[in-house]
Amino acid sequence: MNDGAPAFLAAVRQVLGEQAVDSSEEGIVRYGRNLLPGGDRRTAGIVFPSSTGEVQTVVQLANAHRFPLYSISTGENRGLGLKSPIRPGSVIVDVGARMNRILAIDETLCFAEIEPGVTYQQMYDELGRRGHTLMMDTASGPPNGGIVGNTLDKGAGYTPYFDHFGMSCGLEVVLGDGRVLRTADGALAGSQTWHLSKYGYGPFLDGLFLQSNFGIVTRMGVWLMPRPPAIRSFFFIFPDDEDFGEIIDLVRPLKLNNVVPSLLKVTNDLYALGTETTYPFERTGGRTPLPDGVRRELQREHGLGAWLVSGAFYGASDEVLLPLVERVKAHFGRSGKARYVSHEEALVQPIFDIHVATFSGRPTASELSLLNWRPGGGNCWFLPGLPMKGEVANQQQALSRRILREHKLEFIAEYVCGPRLARALHVIVFNRQDPEECQRVMRCYRALLHAYAEAGYPVSRAPLDFQEEAMARLETFPGVCADIKHALDPNAILAPGRYGIETRK
């Protein structure tokens, strides 16, 4: 731990007050906790600014003391690291704890201006208070997750507004050298179009602050969707693992031709089952991973197959949407394998209703039950991309299943499909209280990372334990990031090492 922590925290207390600092053992332990196999990462303390000016003060003091900071908005991402700092001994800047206001909602132009602590549940509740005329896109993670943090980590959802960064507009950022930057049209003092014009004048800088350590975002505009009178979901169950390739080939034209406005989810059996049940050790004699025979038994018991496909339509009424659903039914029916589940059936079955919620912009905690699939509370995400080609899809699932099986772990995956690429979320659930299992997960993740990189498929996000390794596999890019880091944060104050970005040597 950096020996300068007491002096730095004392300086923050002196300027911002006692309530702005927590150096208690309880706070240090709580903020250092995560669910990853590499273990918790102890912080030196936590500071809680209440305004952009106070964030600026904290950064300026950190520069004066040469002390590293690690900023979070709500720190609720279960599979990537929670609130833990990338480097033990950093001071966490919890920007969202006191900066959690919805600053404005424009119901005519359909946008909001928010601080980093605003959660999906908070926004949903406020839109409900206003009559639910507007709708947000939500992640399927915890309802108390932050909209800003998810956006900056390249998170996404499922509705037509699924692209969270694409639907953001205009950032306020405290840079590593203490300057405050407003991006896009916000660069003009008094701008009336800050959250309306995404690209503004000159270079587009907003993307610099995604998955980086170049600044601390203190304000963001987010576009909202007018809520349609009717939302109707649809589901198809496919029986066999090998159907995955055909599913991808069926989904691709629906998205390329914009037949379905939502993204389409392709969820494997254990991803769905894990929200309702836990690993049946009693059926396996305590062995892992789950035998295929037992997996098939669980499918039959819960009315599932190997894959669950879901999507949604939006429109003026159910009557308008029913012909669209019939068109999709005919499309998937060509396979001769798909079993249709209607919107009405899904509403009364929790496994399906999770998807209805996310397609409707309704935050849900139901999917978090998946993290209890195995005891011990461990959870780690692997997130490569999948080109929307059936042949590649089956190659990738075979690769993942093999590597996970070799490390005695289950293939638990959801593919969220656009027209050309699917986000391939692999959820590795394990017993974090078992050191041997933690080591297996570390080896497994590295094997997946290596195998996918060798095949030409980089990851889009990475847990704290593996961010530096993922960055090190890239060419030229790390050096350019280091140059930018040196320009914007010359003392390397902000989260050194985050996403593998270091300052120029």
Residue-wise pLDDT tens digits, 289-323: 999 999 999 999 999 999 999 999 999 999 999 99
* Residue 137 and residue 59 in one domain: no
CA end-to-end distance (rounded Å), the chain: 22
Residue 25 in tokens = 């053992």
Cis peptide before 478 (omega within 30 of 0): no
Distances (CA, A) of 186 to 110, 149, 167, 190, 487: 18, 20, 16, 8, 21
Under DSSP, is residue 50 helix (H, G, I), strand (E, B) or coil? coil
Whether 23 shows a pLDDT value over 90: the answer reads yes
Q: What are phi and psi of 65, to 5 degrees?
A: -95, 0
182 and 259 co-located in one domain: no
Containing H/E element for 338?
none
On whether both 320 and 456 belong to a single domain, the answer is yes
356 inside domain = yes
Question: How many residues appear in the chain?
Answer: 505
Tokens encoding 45: 């303390």
Q: Which CATH number covers residue 240?
A: 3.40.462.10
pLDDT more than 70, % of the chain: 99
Clarify whether residues 297 and 248 are in a common domain: yes
Q: What is the pLDDT of residue 101?
A: 98
Residues 434-455 have pLDDT tens digits of 999 999 999 999 999 999 999 9
Q: Among 159, 193, 226, which residue terminates a domain?
A: 226
Other C-beta atoms lying within 10 Å of the C-beta of residue 190: 6
Q: Are 102 and 126 in contact (CB under 8 A)?
A: yes
Structure tokens at 502: 């270091």
Q: Percentage of the chain surpassing pLDDT 90?
A: 96
Query: Do 236 and 165 fall into the same domain?
Result: no
State residue 1's pLDDT score.
42
Q: Is the pLDDT of residue 152 over 60?
A: yes
Question: Are residue 476 and residue 453 in the same domain, yes or no?
Answer: no
How far is it, in rounded angstroms, from Cα 342 to Cα 357? 15
pLDDT tens digits for 68-110?
A: 999 999 999 989 999 999 999 999 999 999 999 999 999 999 9
What is the average pLDDT across 490-497? 95
Residues 322 and 360 in one domain: yes
Categorize the per-residue pLDDT at 503 as very low, low, confident or very high, splitting at 50, 70 and 90: confident
Residue 432 predicted with pLDDT over 90: yes
- 22: three-class secondary structure by DSSP: strand
Contacts of 324 (CB under 8 A, 6+ apart): 259, 313, 315
Question: Are residues 197 and 184 in contact, defined by beta-carbon separation less than 8 angstroms?
Answer: yes
Residue 505 lies in a domain: no
The CATH number of residue 70's host domain is 3.30.43.10
322: burial class by Cβ within 10 Å (0-12, 13-18, 19+)? middle
Instruction: Indicate which CATH number applies to the domain containing 145.
Output: 3.30.465.10
Output the pTM of the full model. Answer: 0.95
Domain boundary among 187, 208, 226: 226
**211 vs 74: CA distance, rounded Å:** 15
Q: What phi and psi, each to the nearest 5 degrees, are found at residue 146?
A: -90, 140
How many domains, the chain? 4
Gap between the Cα atoms of 347 and 310, Å rounded: 13
In a domain, 153, yes or no: yes
The pairing of strands 69-72 and 91-94 is parallel
Residue 339 belongs to a domain: yes
Residue range(s) defining the domain that contains residue 478: 466-500
Same domain, 371 and 318: yes
- Residue 202 predicted with pLDDT over 90: yes
146's tokens = 């932050």
Residues 52 and 182 in one domain: no
Structure tokens at 334: 């060509």
Query: What radius of gyration, in Å, describes the C-alpha atoms of the chain?
Result: 23
Residue 2 has pLDDT above 60, yes or no: no
Q: What angle do CA 25, 29, 31 make, to 5 degrees?
A: 120
Query: Do 394 and 323 lie in a common domain?
Result: yes
Is there a contact between 153 and 210 (Cβ–Cβ < 8 Å)?
A: yes
My answer on whether 90 and 115 are in the same domain is no
Task: Indicate the burial class of 447 (C-beta count within 10 angstroms; 0-12, 13-18, 19 or more).
Answer: middle
Encoded tokens for 117: 């602590």
Q: How far is CA 184 from CA 73, 151, 188, 205, 298, in A?
A: 22, 17, 9, 8, 52
In a domain, 369, yes or no: yes
Structural contact between residues 248 and 389, judged by C-beta atoms closer than 8 angstroms: yes
Which residue carries 């090190």 as its tokens?
Answer: 472
Collapse the DSSP code of 303 into the 3-class scheme (helix H, G, I; strand E, B; otherwise coil) and give the result: coil
Write phi, then psi, for 321 (nearest 5 degrees). Answer: -85, -25
Banded model confidence at residue 505, pLDDT cuts 50, 70, 90: low
> What values do phi and psi take at 330, rounded to 5?
-65, -40
- What is the SS3 assignment for 124? helix
Is the pLDDT reported for residue 273 higher than 60?
Answer: yes
431 within some domain = yes
Residue 55, pLDDT score: 98
* 136, 188: one domain: yes
Report residue 434 as tokens. Answer: 């078992």
Whose tokens are 């120029």? That residue is 504
Point out the domain boundary residue: 76, 94, 112. Answer: 94
Average pLDDT, the chain: 96
What SS3 state is found at 469? helix
Token pair belonging to 242: 């090998």
